[in-house]
Every structure is written in structure tokens, then in C-alpha cells.
Amino acid sequence: MHKITSKTILIRHGCTKSCSYCTFDKQYIQDESIENILTLVGNDCDIVQLSGINMNEYEKLFELIDTITKTNVRVINIDHIIPSTKHSYQLLNTVLQNSKMSKYINLPLQSGCNETLKRMNVGHTIEEAITYIRPEFDYTINVIVGFPGETDEEFEETFEFLKKLKQINNNIIYAVKEYIPYKKSKSYHLPNQINNEIKRQRYLRIKTSELGRMPEPRYDYVFPACLQTSISFDPWYPNVGPKKWGDK
């Protein structure tokens, strides 16, 4: 039986954004060359995960995807799409059209309230974020609750927005986290920090509601053991190749 091989390849180093809750030291931006990436992929890799913080800004992204598509690789997965960054819509369309690309998107939304998003300094609005929700994909959407200054009203806005996204596409998993005030982050110094009990209540409100329910996957998903170690944060993985992985 053929043993499935998967590789996670960091195609871009550094980050061009300045989210206020971030502690990542991102002094330099560097893209790996396509030649280096192909060498890392090799000749016998089944699944390639293209990774990197806002990897959709990788300069030659579409040339890279085209090139990998022509190899023996069976599934190409992308780490995430950050709304309103360079190439993000084009990447969404490429994922849709390219039969080797898994129809799974991780979208770091973070909040469903524009005022909260402004304080987070993530650079997108909810109006922009909603345009990334397409019926053809399955999603994991990241949400942070209890960000400094998040009032009850702001949290309710987020809750309602998450409901709205689910109405557009039910195949969404919300990856909810309670905000953690890291000392090195800008948001550590923001006023109106939220106490832990309220953060927990907001977290539980989402997780114990309809929003916390795991949807039925629509694709023929597989969980090869190799993925559980290298890409363990992906709960879903569509099999866009042969139904049985041993059939190669």
C-alpha cells in the first residue's frame, strides 16, 4: 500500500501587518524561490501545505501554484487567506478553479464588530470579510473574544455576524479563543481590559450555541496519520484525489 506523504512548506517569512495583539517579530520579508520550494516538495509528495504568515502576498504565488499543479502532487492546501491583503481574491478564485486545491479555507476574521477590528488593527472590516464566504468552501474562522474594550454590545454584534456567516455557508467551524494580553503586544496597553470571567462567558456563549456545532463535512475527507502530526490544526482535509489513498 502506498504511504501518504505530506509536507508543509514555508513559502514566505515575515509579515507586513501590525495586528495590535501580535508579538511576532517580523522585521524582514523574504519569499522562498520557486526552485527551492520545488526541491523541498520533491518527486514523491502527495500533499503539500503552502504556509507562511499572509502567504497570499507571496510575489509569484500563482506561478508557484501552477508549477506544483503540474507535478505529481495530489493535493495542494493553503494555510489561510487574510481578508483584504494582496492577491487574496485571486487566490480564492484559484482555489475554486484548481481541482488539486483543497476546498478548505482558514479565515482569520477575529471579530464580527468593526470597532473591535479597528482596535485590533487587523486591516479588514466585516463588510470585506463577508465577501470571502463562498458556498463552495468549508471554513475554519478564527475569532477572539474579550479583546480590550469589547463591550457587551460589541460582543453581540460579533455573535450576530457569526450567525449571518453561517446562514451563507453552514460549513463553518468557529475557532474561538479568549484574548490573552501578551506583554509585548500593543493591545497589552489598551484601556478597558476585559476580566477573565467575562471572556469565558463570551467564549462559552459561542461554543454552546448553534455556532459551536460541528457541521457535516461535504467532501470526501480523509485523515491520514501523516497529516495529524504535520498539519494537526486542520480539522478537515478534503480528498480531491482518488477515494482511497492507497490506490495511487
Task: Give contact residues for ligand SF4 (rule: CB under 6 A).
Answer: 15, 17-19, 22, 24, 26, 53-54
Least Å distance, CB 107 to ligand SF4, is 12
The C-alpha cell at 114 is 468593526
Q: What are the counts of helices (DSSP H) followed by strands (DSSP E) for the chain?
A: 8, 8
Min dist. Cβ of residue 54 to ligand SF4 (A): 6
Q: Which C-beta is closer to ligand SF4: that of 123 or that of 224? A: 123
Helix/strand/coil for 152: helix
Report in angstroms how near the CB of residue 174 gets to ligand SF4 at its nearest.
18
**Do residues 76 and 50 make contact, with C-beta atoms less than 8 angstroms apart?**
yes
Angle between helices 61-69 and 34-41 (to 10 degrees): 30
Closest-CA residue to 162 (of 107, 224, 122): 107
d(CA 81, CA 34): 20
CB 108, min distance to ligand SF4, A: 7
CB of 176 to ligand SF4, least distance (A): 16
Q: Write down the least CB distance from residue 23 to ligand SF4, Å.
A: 8
**Contact 230/51 with Cβ under 8 angstroms?**
no
Q: How far apart are CA 98 and CA 84, in angstroms?
A: 22
**Measured from the CB of residue 189, what is the shortest distance to ligand SF4 in angstroms?**
16
Of the pair 19, 101, the CB lying nearest ligand SF4 is at 19
Nearest residue (CB) to ligand SF4, 18 versus 208: 18
Identity of the residue, 68 or 141, whose beta carbon is nearer to ligand SF4 in the bound complex = 141
Of 26 and 100, which CB lies nearer to ligand SF4 in the complex structure?
26
d(CA 159, CA 202): 9
**Nearer CB in complex with ligand SF4: 188/219:** 188
CB 125 within 8 A of CB 117: yes
Minimum CB distance to ligand SF4 smaller for 17 or for 205: 17
Angle among Cα 214, 119, 160 to the nearest 5 degrees reads: 35
Distance CA 52, CA 11 (A): 6
